[in-house]
Structure 1
Amino acid sequence: MENILEVNNLCTSFYTYAGEVKAVRDVSFSLKKGDALGIVGESGSGKSVTMMSIMRLLSDNGKITDGTITFSGTNITNLKKSELKAIRGDRIGMIFQDPMTSLNPLLTIGRQLMEPLVVHRKISKAEAENKAIEMLKLVGIPEPERRLKQYPHEFSGGMRQRVMIATALICEPELVIADEPTTALDVTIQAQILELLKDIKEKMNTSIIMITHDLGIVADLCDMINVMYGGTIVERGTKRDIFYNSRHPYTWGLLRSVPNPKNLIKERLKPIEGQPPNLLNPPKGCPFAARCDYAMGVCLEKKPQGFEISDTQVSACWLNHPDAPRIENPLLGRKNNE
């Protein structure tokens, strides 16, 4: 299968009064057509900035300083704004984190849904309205004809998120980026939104990037998972690799901080102690070294390379070096480099 998206050595910085914040540092990944990729990590790890760099929606003080972004065979890294407008909202859709602040409170739902069609498809208002009704039905909103005339404040949180999904999908994009689309929702609505995204992926063969801090959310939806920390990807692999054979202490920390209902023995959740690195002055070694229980001298001095665990899994941790000490993986009960 061909790659619909390729990101190579992406670096993004924000220039502030305090100095240059290196928010994304040498990030590379790819996504195949029809697949779903999960990008996980705690707040400040660079997940959303990476996606905003792809969409070129950075604030005025943000800039891509290095790397390339290739979408469907075209390098879009340095496209003009007019050229980007032809892609954003048409071939690439984005579901933003907070629908209440992303939807315009002064415009009806119908007008906001129809706008991408009018701009990108150049169709009549009547055709756009029919398509908007069809999309509201697809995302499970009842009485779509009446709902088109309502405003965002007349919808519940879950319904607003469904409207955001409908807006992102209305032009049938090749790629959808979902930035923590279930964060503010209760678990029942979360499950419904995830099922909806799965159905859309299967029915429309849409590629999806799911950004989240919760590994549990990507377990059912995503084919591949990238774990980000300190502006870099510290581990990547299939969901089976990450959940059953993770080889990075940060991934272990994420997994141990999530409750597992299958555990027969009740255990306290173990948080990751400490704070993320200051990206005004990024550490020269491993970004996780200061918080890692297994850190060695080399971890503080030299950034780890990506060690290939298998054809699908890469882990940027010195513990995977052949000469590293043999420590026990706390999740697997066996040595990390076995």
Structure 2
Amino acid sequence: MEKLLEVKGLKTSFDTHIGTVQAVRGIDLYLNKGEAIGIVGESGCGKSVSMMSIMRLLSSNGRLVDGEIMFDGKDISKIPENEMENIRGNKIGMIFQDPMTSLNPVLTIGAQLIEPLTKHKGMKKKEAIEEGIRMLKLVGIPSPEKRIKQYPHEFSGGMRQRAMIAMSLVCQPNLIIADEPTTALDVTIQAQILDLMKDLKDKLNTAIILITHDLGVVADLCSRIYVMYGGIIVEEGTDEDIFYRGRHPYTWGLLKSIPNPNSKLREKLIPIEGQPPDLFKPPVGCPFAERCEYTMKICIEKQPPLFDLETGHKAACWLCHKNAPKVDTPIRGEE
């Protein structure tokens, strides 16, 4: 498959009055055309910052320290801002976490929906409105001719999220980055939004990067998953690799903290004890060492590389070393 996006050695930091936060500490990932991948991890692990770095939407104190971001064969980490403006919203769309704060409350949905069409596609206003109505209909908003004239506060939470998806799709981008698209929605609406994204991916062949802290959300949509912790990728592989053959203790912890729908027994959910590492002073060893029950001396002294386990399956854990003690994998099988 042809690669659409390839990120190599991405590092992003934020300068504050008390020091520098090393939010992303060197990650590699790739995305094929028409593929959906997931990036999962706790809040603060660096997944959203990684995507904001790709979009060049960092706050004023944020900076891209190092790395290469190849999009459609071009390194967009070094292009001028005016060129990046032609990519954002046009070739790469983004669905932000909270549609109520991401949408402009003083502009109608229509005004916000047609702006990319007039800016990037050169459409006249009437033509852009017709296309906006078509997109609202495509994402399942009823009475789109009426709704396009309304303001964000007149939409329910689920409808605002659908409107955000319509805005990200309106220019028919090659890639959509969805940052926690189901946050603050009830489970029924969550399922509808995920089904909608899956349907649009299949119909339009749009590649998707789904950012979430919930492994359950990525199960249906994503073919490959990256697990992030402490600003680095600690495991990557197919959905089956992660769910049934996971090798990193942090991945095990994530899996043990979500319900198992296949279990016939009443199982307790087991939270991951402790706190994420301080990224003002990141640990020299494995960032998960202080919370891991399998920690060895080398885990504290040296950060593990990403060990190749199988085709495309990698894990940054010293337990994957050939000389490491063997431990039973405490994750669920395919019951």
TM bracket, shorter-chain basis: over 0.9
Q: Please state whether the residue corresponding to 2:70 is helix, strand or coil.
A: strand
Q: For residue 71 of structure 1, what is the amino acid of its counterpart?
A: F
> In 2, Cα distance between the equivalents of 1:195 and 1:331?
27
The superposition leaves residues 193-239 of structure 1 with CA deviations (integer Å, 9 ceiling, x where unpaired) of: 00000011000000000000000000000010000000000000000
Structure 2 match to 1:336: none
5+ residue gaps, structure 1:
334-338
Percentage of identical aligned residues? 64
Superposed, which structure 2 residues align to 1:253-264 within 5 Å?
A: 253-264=253-264
Q: For residue 112 of structure 1, what is the amino acid of its counterpart?
A: Q
> In 1, Cα distance between the equivalents of 2:130 and 2:7?
36
Please state how far the C-alpha of 1:291 moved relative to its aligned partner.
Answer: 0.2
> In 2, Cα distance between the equivalents of 1:314 and 1:25?
17
Structure 1 match to 2:283: 283
The superposition leaves residues 101-148 of structure 1 with CA deviations (integer Å, 9 ceiling, x where unpaired) of: 000000001100000000000110011001000000000001000111
Structure 2 match to 1:265: 265
Structure 2 match to 1:11: 11
Q: For residue 178 of structure 1, what is the amino acid of its counterpart?
A: A
> In 1, Cα distance between the equivalents of 2:151 and 2:44?
33
> In 2, Cα distance between the equivalents of 1:330 and 1:195?
31
Find out whether 1:91 has 2:91 as its counterpart.
yes
Structure 2 match to 1:217: 217
Q: For residue 201 of structure 1, what is the amino acid of its counterpart?
A: K
Q: For residue 253 of structure 1, what is the amino acid of its counterpart?
A: G
Q: Please state whether the residue corresponding to 1:254 is helix, strand or coil.
A: helix
Please state how far the C-alpha of 1:243 moved relative to its aligned partner.
Answer: 0.4
Q: What do you get for the CA RMSD once the two structures are aligned?
A: 0.7
Q: For residue 175 of structure 1, what is the amino acid of its counterpart?
A: L
TM-score in terms of structure 2 length: 0.99
Large movers: runs of 4+ above 6 Å: none
> In 2, Cα distance between the equivalents of 1:202 and 1:139?
14
Structure 1 match to 2:20: 20
> In 2, Cα distance between the equivalents of 1:109 and 1:20?
38
Find out whether 1:307 has 2:304 as its counterpart.
no
Structure 2 match to 1:234: 234
Q: Please state whether the residue corresponding to 2:142 is helix, strand or coil.
A: coil
Q: For residue 123 of structure 2, what is the amino acid of its counterpart?
A: I
Structure 2 match to 1:124: 124
Structure 2 match to 1:202: 202
Please state how far the C-alpha of 1:79 moved relative to its aligned partner.
Answer: 1.4
> In 1, Cα distance between the equivalents of 2:275 and 2:18?
19
The superposition leaves residues 267-290 of structure 1 with CA deviations (integer Å, 9 ceiling, x where unpaired) of: 110000000000000000000000
> In 2, Cα distance between the equivalents of 1:212 and 1:309?
25
Please state how far the C-alpha of 1:242 moved relative to its aligned partner.
Answer: 0.3
The superposition leaves residues 229-267 of structure 1 with CA deviations (integer Å, 9 ceiling, x where unpaired) of: 000000000000000100000000000000112111111
Find out whether 1:294 has 2:294 as its counterpart.
yes
Structure 1 match to 2:79: 79
Q: Please state whether the residue corresponding to 1:14 is helix, strand or coil.
A: strand
The superposition leaves residues 77-115 of structure 1 with CA deviations (integer Å, 9 ceiling, x where unpaired) of: 011110100000000000000000000000001100000
> In 2, Cα distance between the equivalents of 1:47 and 1:200?
23
Q: For residue 23 of structure 1, what is the amino acid of its counterpart?
A: A
Superposed, which structure 2 residues align to 1:71-220 within 5 Å?
A: 71-220=71-220
Number of residue equivalences: 333
> In 2, Cα distance between the equivalents of 1:200 and 1:73?
24
Q: 1:185 to 1:332 in 2, by over 3 A?
A: closer
> In 2, Cα distance between the equivalents of 1:331 and 1:137?
42
Q: For residue 238 of structure 2, what is the amino acid of its counterpart?
A: T
Q: 1:159 to 1:132 in 2, by over 3 A?
A: same
The superposition leaves residues 23-43 of structure 1 with CA deviations (integer Å, 9 ceiling, x where unpaired) of: 001100100000001000000
Please state how far the C-alpha of 1:332 moved relative to its aligned partner.
Answer: 5.4
> In 2, Cα distance between the equivalents of 1:104 and 1:247?
43
Q: Please state whether the residue corresponding to 2:114 is helix, strand or coil.
A: helix
> In 2, Cα distance between the equivalents of 1:332 and 1:109?
45
> In 2, Cα distance between the equivalents of 1:32 and 1:121?
25
The superposition leaves residues 47-89 of structure 1 with CA deviations (integer Å, 9 ceiling, x where unpaired) of: 0000000000000000010111000000000111101000000
Q: Please state whether the residue corresponding to 1:8 is helix, strand or coil.
A: strand
> In 2, Cα distance between the equivalents of 1:86 and 1:326?
52
